[in-house]
Amino acid sequence: MKQTKKEKKLLLPQETHSHLKEKVRKQTDELKIKNAQLQKGVDREKLADDQIHILTKAVESVLDGVFVVDAKTPDFPIIYANSSFYSLTGYTKKEILGKNYFLLCGFDVNERVSEEIKQILFQGKPYHGEIANLKKNGEKFSSLLRMAPIRDIQGEITHYVGIKTDITLMKEKDLEIENQREEILHVTRVGKLAEFVSSLAHEISQPLTSILSYAQAAQRIFAGREPQLQEILQYIVNDDHRAVEVIRRLRTLLKKSKPTFEPLDINTLITDTANLMMAHITARNKIIKLKLDDPLPMIQGDRIQLQQVILNLISNSLEAMEASRESRELMVETSLQGAGMILVEVKDSGCGIPLENMNKLFTHFFTSKPDGLGMGLSISRSIVEAHGGCLEAKNNPDGGATFYFTLPVNMKQDL
């Protein structure tokens, strides 16, 4: 009787069954190992992708402009840039990628700087320094540039990574601090000069007193005779009085005291100031004309301070007319503006004010004069504003310039 195949299988030796089981188990273990290895590789790849994603987000979030340049190409093409780099330079992604970094960013200097950076990078060294740049629209800005080489596992330079930081505001702040430091030093020098002038004025007062005494004694000796000599002596006495008055006003001006507000006639103040400067005006071969609206209401002000303003404006106008012999006439006018303001104008026929200087006229220490301190107009504006008025300047249509200020009528001042 014949056996079936099934029956034959059942009749295999016991050793054969064990061998097959072991083979299946080994194959199963190998598959498990391969699956585990495959899963581990997938996990590593996912981890790498996650890390790249995080790194990209981090680079995109920084405020500095980050870029990567291909080092294998001689024209330094940009292969990556973050959004801050686009904002900083004013270019779009399409305009940046593939373009030469040194040509794109428009160094606001000659090619020497870009060549210097390239030479440092070619030596495998990082570059770090401040540079001046141009944006796409031509706007200038200062930046701190840091570039370093990236090497592969063989040590060959493949890329350059750069970080560009906008330091324009920082540079402006540094310049502002430096200017303030210079102003403080200037104020210190001016303060010492004021002390010296005050001391000098005190010393000059003594010989002026002696001159006055000698001149008056000579007048008494030659009383009733020598009329020409008497006239000369009277000139000496008058000029001595004028010099003493100038020194007295100068010392009062330099004295550290609070301003004294009192009722003032602005026309009288201008007339006195013009008389005080008459010798100076005549010596310069100039003419001063007064066109004073009379009567004008009284103002409240400090006589010395307002006289300082008028003196300064007249002096500036005389200096503006020095360049031309044809410029001789200086006009001072007053008028009532409505019911509450008096306008004072000092008009000259000089060279006028350059347009580039117009906005800087009243800035501390700004001067167009080689020997100027740059304090007069700034102090004058402060004085006028303290009196409730406003000091401005403009060019005249027919040449020259006009400085004008307003003063309120009967302004009350709490002392």
Share of the chain above pLDDT 70, in %: 72
Bridge partners (DSSP) of residue 80 are 68
The Cβ-side half-sphere exposure at 197, using a 13 Å CA radius, reads 16
| Mean local confidence (pLDDT), 54-70 | 81
Contacts for 133 with CB less than 8 Å, ≥ 6 apart: 89, 105, 106, 107, 108, 140, 141, 142, 143
pTM: 0.44
The contacts found for 396-400 with CB under 8 angstroms, 24 or more apart, are 396/347, 396/349, 396/352, 399/327, 399/349, 399/350, 399/352, 400/320, 400/321, 400/327, 400/347, 400/348, 400/349, 400/350, 400/351, 400/352
| Mean local confidence (pLDDT), 348-355 | 82
User: Which amino acid is located at 93 in the chain?
Assistant: K
More confident position, 22 or 192? 22
pLDDT tens for 307-321 read 888 988 888 888 888
Lateral strand order in the sheet of 127-134: 78-81, 65-70, 157-166, 140-151, 127-134
Structural domains of the chain sorted by starting position, each given as residue range(s) with its CATH number in brackets: 59-166 (3.30.450.20), 169-257 (1.10.287.130), 259-415 (3.30.565.10)
Whole-number pLDDT of residue 408: 92
**Count of Cβ atoms closer than 10 Å to residue 127 Cβ:** 18
The token duo for 170 is: 């920082």
Alpha helices in 284-331 (DSSP H): 303-320
More confident position, 141 or 324? 141
Q: How far is 355 from 28, CA to CA, in rounded Å? A: 93
Contacts for 167 with CB less than 8 Å, ≥ 6 apart: 130, 142, 143, 144
Query: Helix or strand or coil: residue 30?
Result: helix
- Locus of tokens 């009967």: 410
Nearest to 345 by CA among 406, 277, 388, 389: 406
Cα dihedral value 259, 410, 393, 345, nearest 10: -110
The token duo for 180 is: 């303030």
pLDDT tens for 221-245 read 888 888 888 888 888 888 888 777 7
| Mean local confidence (pLDDT), 48-73 | 76
Whole-number pLDDT of residue 335: 92
Contacts for 120 with CB less than 8 Å, ≥ 6 apart: 126, 127
369-371-376 Cα angle (round to 5): 70
